[in-house]
Amino acid sequence: MKIGKLHFGLLFFGLLLSSCYTEVIVEDDIIVEETPFNAALFLESYDLWYVDINATKGNGEVPFLQQAFTISFKNGVVYANNNLVGIGKTGNGFGIDVGSYATLLGAVEIDHDIDGIWLLDISALDNGTLEFYERSSNTSYILRGYQRNSFDYDRVFYDNMHYFLQEYSVWEKTYTSEVGALNDFDDENYIQFISGAEIGVFRSSIDAVGIPLNALKWDYEGNYQVFDVANYPTLKTLTLDYDFLGNDYFELYVIDDSTIELYHTASGTAYEFTGRGYQQYLKSGGTTSKKRVKRNNPVMNVTRQRKM
């Protein structure tokens, strides 16, 4: 009888060792240790992770996450779409190479080309959502996974129009329609949307077109605001606050990655501006000054005036 009990005990112990988890028996309590989270498999299961900046929690910052619209993990290399210019085309949609990564038990170590080494804890919130948690600052970022063929690059572009305006050092007027009443904005040949400001700040100049950017003299500085328009998902409006003239109001259209149209509804005049001095973030000779902040464009309930 004792031998039978011994054999049964050995058999039971062997079954525990061969299980996919470990049970530690302390009196009547059973502690179950789950299989470790496979961080590499989860990170690489999606082509793109969209950084939902509005869902960020905490007062700290992970600089490269604060800057990126999307981040990708592929064969040990980290890619990011930091610019809206060229998004969907740069790096076959992945963006540019910004560093390397190695996965650990429930964490990822990222060696960023500019910002150095960061250790981030990973939590899978559901099949397509993860949380990056940076312990020293008690800050978390929410990222949502997509495949490139189903990712809406256009929506990211239009939802973040204010950043697109900042990706060129200056916008130079290159066309004014013959149709439209004379107005004070006819004289404005350059606009600059300043990056990094807590509120939208612009400068304008009446200098002649074609001069070197470093020779520009700014005649006015004020605030600007980009608005969404109800029922028009790709239409934005823009106000430029001139204290002495009041607000100039425009419908804002994107012609291509370097050209915008401002339609001045009060006069019926259409202006085209071409971007000069493109700022590609995290490229050699580029800049790292841009960062995304929590924001939602206010919505205007207006009817489009521009006849297309």
Q: Tell me the residue type at 157.
A: F
Distance in angstroms (rounded) separating the CA atoms of residues 136 and 217: 44
Using the structure block, give the residue that is written with the tokens 């960020």. Answer: 56
Residue 106 lies in a domain: yes
Same structural domain for residues 295 and 196?
Answer: yes
User: Taking a C-beta distance cutoff of 8 angstroms, is the pair 272, 174 a contact?
Assistant: yes
**pLDDT, position 242:** 82
Of 132, 159, 186, which one is at a domain's C-terminal end?
A: 159
Per the domain annotation, does 305 fall within a domain? no
Q: Does residue 307 sit within a domain? A: no
- The answer to whether residues 51 and 111 belong to one domain is yes
Coil/strand/helix, residue 43: helix
As to burial, measured by CB atoms within 10 angstroms (0-12 exposed, 13-18 middle, 19+ buried), residue 225 is middle
Q: Are 136 and 51 in contact (CB under 8 A)?
A: no
CATH code, domain with 72: 2.40.128.280
Same-domain pairing of 179 and 152: no
Residue 254: CATH number of its domain: 2.40.128
pLDDT at residue 148, as a whole number: 96
Same domain, 10 and 74: no
- Judge if 257 and 222 occupy the same domain: yes
Element housing 163 (H / E): helix 161-166
> Looking at residue 8, what is its pLDDT?
37
* Residue where a domain stops, chosen among 108, 131, 159: 159
What percent of the chain is helix, strand and coil (3-state, nearest 5)?
A: 20, 45, 35
Indicate if 296 and 166 belong to the same structural domain. Answer: yes
Residue 294 lies in a domain: yes
pLDDT at residue 38 in the model: 83
The token duo for 31 is 């502690």
Whether 21 maps to a domain, the answer reads yes
User: The tokens 């004014």 sit on which residue?
Assistant: 176
Give me the residues paired with residue 300 across strands: 229
pLDDT by 10s per residue, the chain, length 308: 333 433 434 333 333 333 333 344 444 454 434 445 688 999 999 999 999 999 999 989 999 999 999 999 999 999 999 999 999 999 999 999 999 999 998 999 999 999 999 999 999 998 899 999 999 999 999 999 999 999 999 999 998 999 999 999 999 999 999 999 999 999 999 999 987 666 789 999 999 999 999 999 999 999 999 999 998 888 999 999 987 667 899 999 999 999 999 999 999 999 999 999 998 887 655 555 677 887 788 899 999 999 87
Q: Return the ∠ at Cα 288 (arms to 52 and 251), rounded to 5°.
A: 60
Q: Are 133 and 225 members of one domain? A: no
111 lies in the same domain as 150: yes
How many structural domains compose the chain? 3
Residue 107 falls inside a structural domain: yes
The answer to whether residues 60 and 121 belong to one domain is yes
Same domain (yes/no): 147, 44 = yes
Task: Give residue 244's pLDDT.
Answer: 66
Q: Rounded to whole angstroms, how far apart are CA atoms 166 and 91? A: 22
Residue 308 domain-assigned?
no
User: Same domain for 121 and 204?
Assistant: no
Q: Same structural domain for residues 169 and 233?
A: yes
Token pair 């996965």 in the structure block, residue: 103
Q: Which domain holds residue 119?
A: 39-159
- For CA atoms 41, 47, 51, 55, the dihedral sign is negative
* End residue of a domain, out of 113, 139, 159: 159
**Residue 161, SS3 per DSSP:** helix
